[in-house]
């Protein structure tokens, strides 16, 4: 039942394939911060399937309560109350964490916010911890599909600060913050699952 709750069809489509990757990355017990939780469908699916993790949803202060209906219905013991977190905030008011997950956020945030996300993630992870980032990405300035190119154009039309990010730029800011790209998985619908590791 999804009636009365915010709903994303994309989350329903991608949650199982993302879970398969996350279950191989987040193998040890610990707390995973989710950035830009949105509806909460991912949080519920991943926390329900990975009971050794404590899932910490968060989202921009204007959106962080959006996930509450999904969380309330699932009533899982290993999901914490969602936190308001704007990645561009000077300091992140979050509990200690052992990993980070974020889906479909890098093309919505401004580049300044993407940089702040990598900086904040790196500051809160310790050596060996993982940051899993899901979404569409470009390579060497090229789109991986015509549909991603159209999507990018529609994002930039809505707001010029949005847009699909290039792997070269992400690798640069990751490296500046002590994060190394461990895996870049090809996912359905021209998406990728990037695993960054704190070095």
Ligand X SMILES: C[S@@+](CC[C@H](N)C(=O)[O-])C[C@H]1O[C@@H](n2cnc3c(N)ncnc32)[C@H](O)[C@@H]1O
- Which parts of this chain interact with ligand X (CB under 6 A)? 8, 11, 35-38, 42, 59-60, 63, 85-88, 103-105, 108-109, 113
Beta carbon of residue 176, minimum distance to ligand X (angstroms, whole number): 19
Beta carbon of residue 156, minimum distance to ligand X (angstroms, whole number): 15
Structure tokens at 153: 């154009």
Pick 28 or 159: Cβ nearer ligand X: 159
**Pick from 116, 123, 131, 126: nearest CA to 180:** 131
**Pick from 78, 64, 62, 69: nearest CA to 29:** 78
* Composition of the chain by helix, strand, coil, percent to 5: 35, 25, 40
Beta carbon of residue 178, minimum distance to ligand X (angstroms, whole number): 21
Pick 112 or 172: Cβ nearer ligand X: 112
Pick 92 or 127: Cβ nearer ligand X: 92
Beta carbon of residue 182, minimum distance to ligand X (angstroms, whole number): 21
* CA distances in angstroms from 62 to 23, 26, 88, listed in the order given: 30, 29, 14
Pick 11 or 194: Cβ nearer ligand X: 11
């Amino acid at each position: 039942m999804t009636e009365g709750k915010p709903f994303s069809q994309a989350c329903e489509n991608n949650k199982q394939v993302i879970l398969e990757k996350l279950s191989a990355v987040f193998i040890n017990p610990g707390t995973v911060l989710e950035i830009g939780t949105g509806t909460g469908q991912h949080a519920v699916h991943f926390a329900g399937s990975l009971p050794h993790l404590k899932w910490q949803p968060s989202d921009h202060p204007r959106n962080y309560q959006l996930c509450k209906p999904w969380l309330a219905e699932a009533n899982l013991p290993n999901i914490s109350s969602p936190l308001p977190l704007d990645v561009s905030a000077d300091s992140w008011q979050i509990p200690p964490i052992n990993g980070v997950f974020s889906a479909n956020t890098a093309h919505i945030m401004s580049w300044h916010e993407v940089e702040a996300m990598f900086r904040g993630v790196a500051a809160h992870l310790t050596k060996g911890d993982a940051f899993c980032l899901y979404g569409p990405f470009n390579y060497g300035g090229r789109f991986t599909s015509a549909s991603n190119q159209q999507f990018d154009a529609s994002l930039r039309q809505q707001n010029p600060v949005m847009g699909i990010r290039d792997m070269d730029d992400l690798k640069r800011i990751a490296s500046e913050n002590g994060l190394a790209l461990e895996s870049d998985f090809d996912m359905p619908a021209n998406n990728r699952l990037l695993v960054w590791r704190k070095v």
